[in-house]
A and B are shown apart, each in its own frame.
Chain A
Amino acid sequence: MLIRMNNITKTYGPLVANDDVSLTLEKGEILAVVGENGAGKSTLMKILYGLERFDSGEILINDAKVDFRSPHDAIAHGIGMVQQHFMLFPPFTAAENIVYAHEPKNGLLFDRKKAVLRTEELSKRYGLQIDPNAKVADCPVGIQQRIEILKVLHQGVDIIIFDEPSAVLTPQEIDDLLQTIRDLKAAGKSIILITHKLAEVMAVADRVMVMRAGKVVKQMSCKDTSIDEMSYLMVGHEIQPREVEKVKSGSTCLSVENLVLSGIGSKKLLDGLSLHTDFGEIVGIAGVSGNGQSELIECITGLKHPDSGMISIAGTDITGKTTADIRKAGCACIPEDRYFSGSASEATLDENCIMGHYEKSELMRNGIFNTRNVRKFASEMMKAYDVRYTSETQEMHELSGGNAQKLIVAREMYQNSPLLIAAEPTRGIDIGAIDYIHGKLLDKRAKGDSILLISSELSEILELSDRIYVIFEGRIAGEFTRENASSEKIGLLMTGGKLNG
């Protein structure tokens, strides 16, 4: 056995990222590791590549126990990783990037000619065509990925880990990538492919391991499974929908028409996306993250401006408006990452509470804050949403994840805006807090407001939404009403499959 990871457990604080996970890889095999976001695939690979240390378990390479302190050790044992976010220097040429850190030398000097020769040799041997002298900055994403792969091959590894390699590629580039992976296998390399696109798994992998919530759900040969079975295992069992009272929905609240946003290179992050939400309705957007959800939110909230398309809230055109204006037009937003953009960890609780509210006259007059009212406002808000805190002036990072999330939810709910964008409203928090936040979202819907719910947790979408869109590669891949939605059908569309009939 080439690689054997036995009973790996890894925790981050209270979070168990890998729970007693075992993995094996044979020589010349392509193993796919699939699972939803946060299922623990990336953590497992980071451990194997020496980027993270595990709490317990063991790793054996060729039946010898190893202990990787850094990727350097992993590379020395023949393990390389093609990262999802390329680790390249854009101003340098392909050849310079490929030999980086393992440069051919001419005495003490860097031997550029040898670097180009080496690149050409590798490129020919593995059928990965590139121009060694092209600047990385000028290469399209697909070529950049080839450069990244060649870089790993130059390190002389036998085992290559691909971390979500197709996430940034166009369909054509994906076909090329899959061919490359097959060629690498034919050349005797062993491959671990992390992905959540199940069609790719079926196309190249020999064996698949499905992970969910840090655990291995099932391992099987690709011959013996289907996309349907895998997506079912990935997202889990059908969830009993919460008894949600039907509310009669009203006129259109948010309307998004033909939104286009380009990214780097030819890839479109949003590719003609259209959707709408009505008053009194929760509309869910299901999808594997990275398919345009973040960009959609950024466009609606004015953080990014779309290339074309139109966005309006309750009939008011807000395309191209500033974030402040869009907030005033009636849009509140629970951001997908509470620490990245949802709060300032080193600011105090009251400072975090008043964001988006502080222009109110009881909080501020002529640009000067009324500190007592600010405190009162913050404490009322936090009490109403059961945030456990000791003082309004303690710093945000002192709150637990669940309490921090409740604070942010409270802040955005207090906007009383006709439209609420709730992105990953319950990510990484405990079940009690999840249920609490779900209840509050339903209350808001009952008041006749409109909610756009974006979540990578399919069960959450199914439980709360009146209507569900599936997003895939910047487009709406399907639309379901609450009645005709099922996790199999949605899971299939989420992962790039097609519904039959």
Chain B
Amino acid sequence: MADTIQEIRKKKAIQNVLSPVIAILGGLILGAIIMLAVGTNPIYAYAQMFGKSFFTPYYLAQTLVRSAPIMLAGVAAAVAWRAGYINLGMQGQMCVGGLCATLVALYFPVKTPLTTVLCFIVGMAAGAIWALIPTFFDYKFNASLIITTLMLNYATNYITDYFVAYPIKDTAGDGMALQSPQIAEAMRFFRFSKKNAMNVSVFLAIAMVILVYFILKKTRFGYESKITGLNRNFASYGGIKSSKMMFMTMAFSGALCGFAACIEIFGARYRYVNAMFSSTSYAWTGLMAMLIAKYNPILTLVYSIFLAGLSIGGQALQRTVGLPMQISDIIQCCITLFVSVKIIIDFKHKQAPETLAAKGGKA
């Protein structure tokens, strides 16, 4: 009891800023050691990497476009995790959302920008429904959400990849690529320049993140889900129905994943491509961003851009310095490692809410 409240708060604030920075620096340093081991100058490599991904227009555009689905997947995870529901099925929810939106885009007779809106609605609904399947199993049979959402990813990959391999496979050109036909030009997002990938999707993603931030901060749903996540006993004592919260939260999370997938399809790829959401690991990068950000949507956005820049920089590195782009994967893994260590430490510090009885409270 030596510390005053002000001191505790100050310490906490410093810790909040410092700890993700330390995790990231730790990852970068470990990456530097590995680069040294293979005979590369890490300072030069890092300068190249970040110089490219953040300071040259072509790569910066790539970074931002890549960050859009990452930040949305991250925010989707944050929405669920913060309420205490561990959704690990973002990837599968993106696959289904993306596929369904593509199907509408390909087969809906009218092809206008308004159809794109319809595609987004369908994609979000599909993502939500896909998230509700494991939720239902948890509710009905007590099947752990962590496991079922994770496992469903693998099943989903195969289901969606089947579609682009057979029923909706693009037969134009040589017909070798496993992908759907392109969606009509009228339905694609506006690109600002022919020279780079920059398009509206980035702004839409940022707007969505801000909207989610508002929802979490200012609405009844945000309040109830926060309290549920912090202390489920308190929530139900106050009259919040936990089963309803679980379904709402997971549906919201899944819908955001569907939105993320649509952003990618209508802004960058214009078609559904085999393994487009698994090989790019948007979902996992987003998860990491939100973990570093401690569920804060705005910080998730910032870290998403950073992490996207890291992998775009890695690609640039391969082209210019001749270093394998896996270097950036290694760095990302090192950061993940440091972040997870931090999360485990945090978790050990608080665990379950302490009861008076556990403190030996006086009767």
Contact = CB atoms under 8 A, between A and B. Distances in A.
Interface of A: 12-15, 17, 36-40, 42-43, 213-214, 289, 301, 303, 322-324, 326-327, 333, 335, 337-347, 351, 354-356, 358, 364, 367-369, 371, 390, 394, 398, 424, 427-428, 456-457
Given A12-B359, A15-B362, A355-B234, A322 B353 contact: no
Interface in B210-255: 218-221, 223, 226-227, 230-231, 233-241
A428 B237 CA distance: 21
Contacts of B218: 368-369, 371
A369 B222 CA distance: 10
A347 B226 CA distance: 8
A424 B355 CA distance: 13
Interface string B188-224: 0000000000000000000000000000001111010
Contacts of B223: 351, 354, 358, 369
B356 A338 contact: yes
25 contacts: A13-B1, A15-B360, A38-B360, A40-B360, A43-B360, A323-B239, A324-B240, A339-B354, A339-B356, A340-B233, A340-B356, A341-B233, A341-B234, A343-B231, A344-B230, A345-B231, A351-B223, A367-B220, A368-B218, A369-B218, A390-B6, A398-B9, A427-B356, A427-B363, A428-B363
B33 interface: no
A347 B230 contact: yes
A367 B219 contact: yes
A334 to B, nearest CB: 11
Contacts of B357: 337
A14 B361 CA distance: 11
Nearest to A37: B363
A40 B363 CA distance: 10
A39 B239 contact: no
Interface in B1-30: 1, 5-6, 8-9
B237 A303 contact: yes
Interface string B342-363: 0000000000011111011111
Interface string B105-134: 000000000000000000000000000000
A14 B231 contact: no
Contact of B363 (A36, A347, A369): A36
Nearest to A333: B237
Most A CB within 10 A of own CB, among B5, B227, B233, B237: B237
A379 B241 CA distance: 27
A469 B51 CA distance: 76
A345 B353 contact: yes
Given A43-B360, A337-B355, A428-B361, A324 B239 contact: yes
B239 to A, nearest CB: 3
A323 B219 contact: no
Contacts of A367: 219-221
Given A339-B355, A344-B231, A347-B227, A428 B362 contact: yes
A464 to B, nearest CB: 16
Contact of B5 (A322, A355, A390, A424): A390
A320 to B, nearest CB: 14
Contacts of B5: 390, 394, 398
Contact of B360 (A17, A303, A351): A17
A282 B49 CA distance: 72
B361 A38 contact: yes
Contacts of B241: 322, 324
Contacts of A342: 234, 237
Contacts of B353: 339-340, 345
B356 A213 contact: no
Nearest to B354: A339
A15 B361 contact: yes
Contacts of A326: 239
Given A303-B237, A337-B355, A339-B353, 7 more contacts: A13-B359, A15-B360, A333-B237, A354-B223, A394-B5, A424-B363, A427-B363
Contacts, number: 116
Contact of B220 (A327, A343, A345, A364): A364
A369 B218 CA distance: 5
B230 A369 contact: no
Contact of A39 (B1, B6, B238, B363): B363
Most A CB within 10 A of own CB, among B8, B231, B238, B356: B238
A346 B362 CA distance: 23
B219 A368 contact: yes
B220 A303 contact: no
Nearest to A340: B355
Contact of B227 (A323, A355, A424): A355
B5 to A, nearest CB: 5
Contacts of B230: 344-347
Contacts of A42: 360
A456 to B, nearest CB: 5
Contacts of A457: 363
Contacts of B355: 337, 339-340
Nearest to B233: A341
Contacts of A339: 353-356
B176 to A, nearest CB: 51
Most B CB within 10 A of own CB, among A15, A43, A326: A15
A345 B9 CA distance: 14
A341 B237 CA distance: 6
Nearest to B226: A347
B226 A456 contact: no
Nearest to B355: A340
A358 B220 contact: yes
Contacts of B231: 341, 343-345, 347
Contact of A343 (B219, B234, B240): B234
A470 to B, nearest CB: 16
A301 B230 CA distance: 21
A323 B236 contact: yes
Nearest to B227: A344
A409 B121 CA distance: 46
Nearest to A354: B223
A369 B219 contact: yes
Contacts of A343: 231, 234
Interface in B137-169: none
Contacts of A213: 362
Contacts of A358: 220, 223
Nearest to A46: B360
B226 A351 contact: yes
Most B CB within 10 A of own CB, among A303, A354, A355: A355
Contact of A335 (B220, B237, B359, B362): B237
Interface in B312-332: none
Contacts of B226: 347, 351
Nearest to B237: A341
Given A364-B220, A390-B5, A356 B356 contact: no
Contacts of B220: 358, 364, 367-369
A398 B3 CA distance: 11
A355 to B, nearest CB: 4
Of all A-B residue pairs in the complex, the 7 with the closest CB atoms, nearest first, are A38-B363, A324-B239, A341-B233, A344-B230, A37-B363, A355-B238, A428-B361
A36 B353 CA distance: 24
Contacts of B239: 322-324, 326-327, 356
A376 B219 CA distance: 17
